[in-house]
Amino acid sequence: MAEGGLSPSEVGREIAGHAHDEGARRDWVIAVIEASLLAVVAVLAAWSGYASAKWATESRLDLARASTARTEAASEELVATTTRNFDASTFTAWFVADVAGNTDKMSLAERRFRPGFLVAFNAWLATNPDTNPNAPPGPTYMPEYQQPDQAKADSLYAQGSQDGTRGDDYVRITVYLATVLFLIAIAGHFQIRGVRIGLIVVGGAVLVFSVVQLLGLPLPPA
């Protein structure tokens, strides 16, 4: 062997040393990726939990307002019944005058209509009830004839239900993110590099899916 050359054992040690260094670099890269994913997931999980709590609070407020509106609507039911009876009586007077062809009494009856009822009455006349067999029986059957308090209660209840669903959506995404945290956390306990990489890939895919879901949800209320 030429002077200054390496013996076979020394060559083997050099190759083993390079392989060890290469493996250490790969482990370092994997560790950096794991730490980065954990940091991103931690931030997203915190945001998702915050958004879920905000939407849950908004849902409870909407449902409480809906309950209050329904209570107020119930307390006004007697007044509403009296109002409907008054509308029916004025319409009956108009209808009798219409059948009799007495335009003066028809005009008199129309002047007695409540403003809200007059809107429904005009909409009903627009359906040509004299010639249209499919026309509603009277103004009270028109969509324009409504009880605003009841409509408000229904709207608030629907909004509360929708807000609750949004909160549930954020909770579901938080569960996805917790799964990512679990996968990345256990990946570091495996000595086999292929297993660690596989768990990171699966966790990354779930993370991407979670981010896409988050981007499709509305922001929490201020």
Please tell me the pTM assigned to this model: 0.50
What phi and psi values does residue 220 have, to the nearest 5 degrees? -65, 155
Residue 123 has what pLDDT? 93
In angstroms, rounded to a whole number, what is the distance separating the alpha carbons of residues 199 and 141?
A: 63
Residue 6 has what pLDDT? 47
Exposure class string for 73-94: b at 16+ Cβ within 10 A, else e? beeeeeeeeeeeeebeebbebb
Residue 96 has what pLDDT? 92
What phi and psi values does residue 94 have, to the nearest 5 degrees? -65, -40
CB-CB neighbours of 61 under 10 Å: 15
Residue ranges of the chain whose pLDDT lies below 50: 1-3, 6, 11, 19
CB-CB neighbours of 146 under 10 Å: 12
In angstroms, rounded to a whole number, what is the distance separating the alpha carbons of residues 44 and 52?
A: 12
Domain spans in the chain, listed from the N-terminal domain onward: 74-148
Residue 125 has what pLDDT? 92
